[in-house]
Every structure is written in C-alpha cells, then in structure tokens.
A = this chain, B = another copy of it.
Amino acid sequence: MAEITFGDLKEREREARKELIVNTAKKLFSEKSFKSVTVRDIAKGAGISTGTIYRYYESLDELFLDVFFSDTNEIIRIIEGELKKGGGCTIRKFSEVYIGYLNENTSYYQMMSYFMPRGMLTDEEIEKINPIMQEVIDLIERLIKAVGHKGDTQLMARALFSALNGIMTSYAQYPGSSLGEIQKYTLVLAGYIADFFEMGARKEYY
C-alpha cells in the first residue's frame, strides 16, 4: 500500500505553489501580451512576493516555459476528452477544438514563436518540452491512422499541426474585426484545412 511520506507532502505543496504561479501567469497572459507581463505582475496577481517566484523558477523564461508546458498538457487533455465523445470526422473535430483552444488562449502560439528561435532554450529545457510536443503530434497521428492512411503519418501530423498554428499567427486577432468574427473565421479556415488533410489521409497519398 502506497504510503504518503512527509517529503511527498512537501513536494505536493511545492507543486501546488507552482500551479498557483502558472495559473496566475496564464490569467495575466489572457489580459495582455505575454511578453509584457512582469515578475511583479505575476507576484501581485498570485498574492506573493517577487522573491518567492524565484524560489520556484530560476528565471522568468523558465516560468513562461512551464506555462507553455502546462498549456500543452491542457490541450492534450481537452482534445482527448473531446475525441472520446464523438465519432466520425475526427481530424476536423481535432482541428476545431485545437483552434478553439488557441482562440481562448492567445498566449500559447505567441509563446511558441517566442521559444522556437535558436538559442532560446537550454538543452535541459528542450528535453522537457520535446516529449510533450511529441504527444500532441502522436495524438494527431493516431487520428490520421484511424482514417487508414498509408503514407508518412508522422509527417502529415506535423504538417497539420503547423498549418493550424499558422491560422492563429495569421488571423488570431486580426485587427479591425470583432473578436467573434475572428473566431468564426479561424474556425472556417481550420475546417477548410482539416478537410484537405482528411481527404489526403483517405488516399494512399505519398
């Protein structure tokens, strides 16, 4: 029978604190551009001191990366949940749910653009991020295989992932349109692209 040690409790509390910090950061990211959120903003928002943040994260970037990590996990959870519900046209379903998430969490793809550039991440950080990103790709790949695709499903998964992210970069909050219009339009684009992939997946393409 699993015993709960004192160390476990400590660890849990630590995780709870990190979660508080990460969630505060997420909340602030939804209010303003993620790069304009400061340590003081987060500390204030979380009701703790700036110094405390540095007890849990060595730098702001490390914290941001954890938000990214957490968001990615959330995406996976949401999509797995959604997929359990429905039947049929799953690539499309995935695409819509994913874009829906990005619409609600605009900082996600902003962080992606921020972290991708060469030299931004240490090897250690890359090793932390890679597996979870691969999970997303794997999840998409499963959908593609489900349709019976015979080609390079990994490649196709990556292509779809890229294409969807691009919708956000290009139209996420396109200036001049109302938020609702934009969300509707990005969903249309997502559906359009998804259909191509759906179609492609059904063929023995590549």
Contacts and interface: CB of A to CB of B under 8 A. Distances in A.
A165 B169 contact: yes
B155 A165 contact: no
A169 B174 contact: no
A159 B117 contact: no
Contact of A189 (B162, B192, B193): B162
A6 B172 CA distance: 44
A192 B170 CA distance: 20
Contacts of A174: 116
B112 A169 contact: yes
Contacts of A162: 163, 166-167, 169-171, 189, 193
A94 to B, nearest CB: 15
Interface string A159-185: 101111111111111111001000000
A161 B169 CA distance: 10
A192 B160 CA distance: 10
Contacts of A176: 123, 126, 130
